[in-house]
Structure 1
Amino acid sequence: MVAATQNRNTPTRLNQHRGHPVAADAECFAGTIAMGDAGYAKPGVTATGLTALGAFTHYVSNAGGADGDMTAVIERGCFRFANSNGADEITRADIGQVCFVVDDQTVASTNGDTGTGATRSPAGIVDDIDEVGVWVCIDPTNGVAATA
């Protein structure tokens, strides 16, 4: 293909919402962290090798179901989650840095490594912190999982 020599009608996507098949037996609560695990969505947990997808927009229960029996809508964007505490607490100094998933509503400043290896997957980039929690930008296409 050669460079364009005239205007082009390029299709676009808002890139905010996606339907994802839900993992077997997963219960997904609206507003909680959605993680991708081998192509299926599930709630955020302390584990490595997962990809933060965004936040669930609605409650979905795949209890008793197999992988992919249900579909969840997941929104990408900037969300406020609970802050971890102690050495894992996120501070203003962490703005612009990667944070990590503790559970489906909590993020931490570290990957949980206590000398034996990481225990947490990246959540996204810390956008802000306030008295209620941590604002995290989650987008699985931003390269955070690949670089953290």
Structure 2
Amino acid sequence: MPLTQDRMTASRDGELMPFAIAAGQQIFLGAQVAVNASGFLVAGNEATGLTYIGRAEAHVDNTDGADGDKTVLVRRGKAFLWKNDDADPVGQDLVGKPCYILDDETVAGTDGTGTRSESGTVLVVESAGVWVQ
């Protein structure tokens, strides 16, 4: 039903949000995280069907829990420095293009022949790693 009077709509900036963790997951502080096809948070890993979310702001262990038993705050909308994979590195030619999740701290330059999900957009490639937003 449409509004018929003014409404003070709740808001958040979306930068720091709680996400429900998938069953059997342990999320480490500083980990690259994504949501699975069911919408639950998982540690970054080499898999298809994941949607990159950001960086975990705490260590939360849900290895013995069911989907959604625990939550973790995730920082979003920022550039994070992830490790660059030695075997399939992100090169300078990928600046402005997507890179791919390899694990919870590493990105790769390709989708691994369809085995990896996108991490985000490459902003800077340097010796310390890859800045991804």
Secondary structure (helix, strand or coil) at the match of 2:101 reads strand
Q: Is 2:87 the partner of 1:72?
A: no
1:27 matched to which residue of 2? 26
For 1:12 and 1:71, the matched residues in 2 are separated by 20
Which residue of structure 1 aligns with residue 129 of structure 2? 133
- Give the Cα–Cα distance (whole angstroms) in 2 for the partners of residues 111 and 102 of structure 1: 9
Instruction: Give the number of equivalent residue pairs.
Output: 124
Cα distance in 1 for partners of 2:23, 2:106 equals 23
**Is 1:17 aligned with 2:13?**
no
CA–CA distance in structure 2, aligned partners of residues 10 and 18 of structure 1: 18
- Choose from 95, 99, 123 the match for 2:119: 123
Over 3 Å counting, the alpha-carbon distance change for 1:10 and 1:21 in structure 2 is closer
Q: Equivalences for 1:29-48 in 2 at 5 Å?
A: 29-37=28-36, 38-48=38-48
Task: State the alpha-carbon separation in 1 of the partners of residues 25 and 10 from structure 2.
Answer: 34
**How far does residue 10 in structure 1 lie from its aligned partner after superposition?**
8.1
Aligned-pair identity in percent equals: 35
Task: Give the corresponding residue for 1:49.
Answer: 49
Match for 2:129: what amino acid?
A: G
SS in 2 for 1:93: helix
- Give the Cα–Cα distance (whole angstroms) in 2 for the partners of residues 54 and 16 of structure 1: 9
Q: Which amino acid in structure 2 is aligned with residue 135 of structure 1?
A: W
Give the drift of 1:93: 1.5
TM value normalised by structure 1: 0.79
Shift, 1:13, TM fit: 3.4
Matches of 1:128 and 1:15, distance apart in 2: 24
Counterpart amino acid of residue 35 in structure 1 = A
Counterpart of 2:92?
A: 92
More displaced, 11-20 or 91-100?
11-20
